[in-house]
Amino acid sequence: MLIDNLKGSYPVVIEELIPAVLNVGDVQKVLQNLLKERISIRNLLLICERLADEGRFVKDVDALTEGVRQALARAICREYQTADNTMPVITLDPTIEQTIAETVQRPDKDTYAALDPNTIRLIYASLLREVEKATALGYQPVVLCSNKVRLYFKRLTERVLPNLVVLSYNEIVPEISVEAIGMINASEEHV
Looking at per-residue confidence, does 189 or 42 come out higher? 42
Is a pLDDT exceeding 90 seen at residue 186? Answer: no
pLDDT of residue 64: 96
Helix axes 147-157, 61-71, angle to 10 degrees: 110
Question: What topology is assigned to 2-71 in CATH?
Answer: Helicase, Ruva Protein; domain 3 (1.10.8)
Q: Where are the domains of the chain?
A: 2-71, 82-190
Rounded to an integer, what distance in angstroms lies between the CA atom of residue 13 and that of residue 18? 9
Rounded to an integer, what distance in angstroms lies between the CA atom of residue 89 and that of residue 150? 14
Q: How many angstroms separate the Cα of 98 from the Cα of each of 94, 102, 121, 135? A: 6, 6, 17, 27
Judge residue 137's burial from the number of C-beta atoms within 10 Å of its C-beta, 0-12 exposed, 13-18 middle, 19 or more buried: exposed
Average pLDDT over residues 144-159: 93
| pLDDT level of residue 96 (50, 70, 90 thresholds) | very high
Rounded to an integer, what distance in angstroms lies between the CA atom of residue 47 and that of residue 82? 25
Average pLDDT over residues 98-109: 75
Average pLDDT over residues 4-8: 89
pTM flag (> 0.75) = yes
> Could you tell me what percent of the chain has a pLDDT over 90?
76
pLDDT tens-digit readout, 77-93:
999 999 999 999 999 99
Compute the radius of gyration of the chain from its Cα atoms. 18
Bridge partners, residue 182, by sequence:
90
pLDDT tens-digit readout, 59-69:
999 999 999 99
pLDDT of residue 25: 94
Is a pLDDT exceeding 60 seen at residue 49? Answer: yes
> DSSP per residue over 110-173, as a string?
--EE---HHHHHHHHHHHHHHHHHHHHTTPPPEEEE-HHHHHHHHHHHTTT-TT-EEEEGGG--
CATH number of 82-190: 3.40.50.12790
| pLDDT level of residue 153 (50, 70, 90 thresholds) | very high
Rounded to an integer, what distance in angstroms lies between the CA atom of residue 10 and that of residue 26? 19
Is a pLDDT exceeding 60 seen at residue 146? Answer: yes
| pLDDT level of residue 160 (50, 70, 90 thresholds) | very high
pLDDT of residue 102: 86
